Amino acid sequence: MRLGIVGTGSYVPEKVLTNFDLEKILDTSDEWIYTRTGIKERRIAEPGTGVSELCKVASERAIAAAGLQPSDIDLIVLGTITPDTHCPAGANWLEAKLGCDNAVSFDVTAACTGFIFSLHVASALIRAGFNKKALVCAGEIMSRTVNWKERESCILWGDGAGAVILTETSQGAEVLSTHIHTDGKNGRELLMPGGGSLTTPISHESVDKGLHFLKMINANTSLRTAVNHFADAAMEAVRTSGYRIEDVDLIIPHQANIRIMEGVARKLKTPMEKVYVTINKYGNISSATVPIALDEAVRDGTITKGKLVLLTAFGGGLTWGSSLIRW
């Protein structure tokens, strides 16, 4: 079966938070943040907005780009670690907001690899004959998970959503392969201790301890681990499909830190010109960085017909994965 992406869409909130804004509330500087991370600014969702709202706009754009109606979609897979609520799932809110009344919808939790995991799951369900037209979306409001007093981590994150439409098709971009991996043993480096059954109901004590915040443990080690997993996943996708890394026209990595991306490019012996970068303007939007970058690369003409596009990501869990697409 030839599976293809027939539409892409993305959305980031309008509110911009620059490094200079952060200088006013934290002991930090634009120079430190930019040289250590590549980030200049990030987008922040308005209070009272849930992630399904961001995903709705991204998804409507993807559905329109595919020339479809919401009623044509029969599967919604949403990669997110910041759903509106844990019950109902974020995808259920999205389904209702889009009016996708013919779809079954659920979330996939795989942190920054959430989009690639979702693409893998949707591909498998279509290949198995259960579904025909999937909306694969990833969205996050990371700004609500961080401790804005913790300068090591709050500077990294931002908000946004991206989406694609996946279906069997003889035309358009072909998804050649998807690959996913996890390592639960070493999953504690990127941890949100609160919000699950372990700390529910929320107590004064858990809030006082800041258990509801995302924590980065050994951020430096995670930089090195990330480069290795990103590069391994990239090579797995390329080799499985019978290509060489030199054949790839564009790499869209998860945008966690420009130094990770440069490390991956060095490891893959690929020039940075082939690496699509959005981290300067959006920071790390966890699962959403890859589909947002993919949509922007399609819309700004970087991705044109025939180009070989490699997606690769790594994140909490640990999770990592890749996908090779012939546009």
Which residues are catalytically annotated? 112, 254, 284
Helix (H) or strand (E) holding 219: helix 219-240
Q: Rounded to whole angstroms, how far apart are CA atoms 310 and 157?
A: 23
Closest contact distance (angstroms) between CB of 189 and ligand COA is: 8
Closest contact distance (angstroms) between CB of 80 and ligand COA is: 15
- Among 8, 105, 131, 257, which residue sits at the site for ligand COA (rule: CB under 6 A)? 257
Q: Is residue 181 a contact partner of residue 233, using CB atoms and an 8 Å limit?
A: yes
Residues 93-152 interacting with ligand COA (rule: CB under 6 A): 112, 151-152
Contact letters for ligand COA, residues 165-194 (x by CB under 6 A): -------------------------x----
Tell me which residue has its CB nearest to ligand COA. Answer: 28
- Is 315 an interacting residue with respect to ligand COA (CB under 6 A)? yes
Nearest to 237 by CA among 120, 79, 80, 110: 120
Q: Rounded to whole angstroms, how far apart are CA atoms 313 and 319?
A: 8
Structure tokens at 207: 């809030």
- Among 178, 222, 270, 319, which residue sits at the site for ligand COA (rule: CB under 6 A)? 222
- Is 31 an interacting residue with respect to ligand COA (CB under 6 A)? no
- Is 34 an interacting residue with respect to ligand COA (CB under 6 A)? no
Residues 6+ apart with CB under 8 A from 283: 37, 39, 41, 42, 142, 155, 156, 157, 158, 255
**162: number of CA atoms within 13 Å, CB side?**
25
Helix (H) or strand (E) holding 322: strand 319-326
Neighbours of 191 (CB within 10 A): 14
Residue with Cβ nearer ligand COA (3 or 112): 112
Closest contact distance (angstroms) between CB of 256 and ligand COA is: 4
- Among 17, 100, 211, 226, which residue sits at the site for ligand COA (rule: CB under 6 A)? 226
Q: Which residues bind ligand COA (CB under 6 A)?
A: 28, 32-33, 36-37, 112, 151-152, 155, 190, 216, 219-220, 222-223, 226, 256-257, 314-315
